[in-house]
Amino acid sequence: EVGRVLNMMGLCCERSRNFEQALEHFQKAKTAFGDNHKDVGHAENNIGRIRRKMRDWEEALKCHERALDIIGENDPEVGAVLHDMGDLHKDMGNHEPALECYNRAL
């Protein structure tokens, strides 16, 4: 429960564009989730999304890739990770990888 609350706090900070505070909450959420890998994957994806908004492209991509590894390609919620990864590639001007991610998200 603590991890989910921290994750929600991070989402609130993200919406108010307080990215540093959002990162802090998402990192704490990962720790609080412990071995609940799926939730750790979602927190990792959230960190990647914040890194993208901060234009830290390389770290954002690493976060999204870790999230994919944790959540797994066959999980019904993997579409959110692939969508965020597509947004990252689009922002970087990599249109073919972006389209590939969006198609995989369908």
Per-residue pLDDT, 38: 87
Nearest to 30 by CA among 66, 61, 77, 55: 66
Predicted confidence (pLDDT) per residue in 7-57, tens digit: 999 999 999 999 999 999 999 999 999 877 789 999 999 999 999 999 999
* Residues above pLDDT 90, as percent of the chain: 88
Per-residue pLDDT, 93: 96
Per-residue pLDDT, 77: 87
Per-residue pLDDT, 11: 97
Per-residue pLDDT, 71: 93
